[in-house]
């Protein structure tokens, strides 16, 4: 199996997979996200931010999800529960999907429980320049950043291995 040890490959894969996971997750919740360009990456007014950390052997990082008040209200109108829990659960499920996708590349990650914050204008202060993944939800906007850090000895498959496939989202199995 071909492997890579380059941190930039891990970051690029994390961003590509996170973009895909955002699209899948929001579609599963009944939304049709419209992608926003990174230069519009400033949510206005009240923002809700959720952070989920992940770590594995030689790779760790965070997913930071920032949602404008209007986007949060839109999500909350479709998904039952207090806004705090809705935002936290979306970040949690996004993290779960990313973790499952990374398994296909031989990378096993543990996720932390989500932290949810409320304030005005959230953006990460990353170690490296991060490209935000943005989309509109109703009349609001959401931005997602994924930040990875690799350590000596890190390696990852360059292509997904179907033999490592986990159970898919929405699937049910009775024993």
Partner 1 sequence: MSPKVLIVDDSATVRQQVRLALTQAGFDVIEANDGLEGLDKINSASDIKAVICDVNMPRMNGLEMLERCHTQGGPRMPVLMLTTEGKPALIQKAKEYGAKGWIVKPFKADLLVAAVKQLTRAA
Q: Interface with partner 1 by CB under 8 A: which residues?
A: 25, 28-29, 79-82, 85-86, 88-89, 92-93, 95-97, 99-100, 103, 108, 111, 113, 166-175
Q: State the burial class of residue 84 (Cβ atoms within 10 Å of its Cβ: 0-12, 13-18, 19+).
A: middle
In the bound state with partner 1, the residue whose beta carbon lies nearer, of 37 and 172, is 172
The Cα–Cα gap between 174 and 21 comes to 26
In the bound state with partner 1, the residue whose beta carbon lies nearer, of 158 and 165, is 165
CB 31, min distance to partner 1, A: 12
The residue assigned the tokens 């590349």 is 105
In the bound state with partner 1, the residue whose beta carbon lies nearer, of 10 and 111, is 111
- What is the DSSP-derived secondary structure letter of residue 154? -
CB 164, min distance to partner 1, A: 9
Are 159 and 7 spatial neighbours (Cβ–Cβ below 8 Å)? no
CB 55, min distance to partner 1, A: 14
Question: Which residues on neighbouring strands pair with residue 130, listed in sequence order?
Answer: none
In the bound state with partner 1, the residue whose beta carbon lies nearer, of 89 and 149, is 89
The Cα–Cα gap between 132 and 17 comes to 13
CB 60, min distance to partner 1, A: 17
CB 92, min distance to partner 1, A: 6
Which of 144-165 are b and which e, b meaning 16 or more Cβ less than 10 Å from the residue's Cβ?
bbbbbbbeeebbbbeebeeeee
Q: Tell me the three state secondary structure of residue 57.
A: coil
In the bound state with partner 1, the residue whose beta carbon lies nearer, of 85 and 149, is 85
């Amino acid at each position: 199996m071909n492997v890579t040890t380059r941190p930039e490959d891990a970051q690029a894969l994390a961003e590509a997979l996170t973009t895909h996971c955002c699209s899948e997750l929001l579609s599963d919740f009944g939304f049709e996200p419209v992608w926003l360009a990174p230069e519009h990456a400033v949510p206005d007014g009240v923002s809700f931010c959720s952070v989920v950390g992940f770590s594995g052997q030689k790779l760790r990082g965070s997913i930071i999800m920032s949602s404008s008040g209007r986007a949060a209200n839109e999500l909350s109108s479709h998904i039952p529960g207090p806004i705090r829990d809705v935002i936290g659960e979306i970040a949690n499920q996004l993290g779960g999907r990313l973790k499952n996708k990374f398994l296909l590349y031989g990378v096993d990650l543990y996720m932390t429980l989500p932290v949810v914050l409320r304030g005005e204008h959230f953006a990460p202060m990353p170690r490296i320049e991060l490209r935000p993944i943005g989309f509109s939800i109703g009349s609001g906007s959401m931005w997602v950043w994924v930040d990875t850090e690799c350590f000596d000895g890190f390696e990852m498959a360059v292509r997904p291995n179907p033999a490592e496939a986990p159970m898919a989202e929405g699937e049910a199995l009775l024993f």
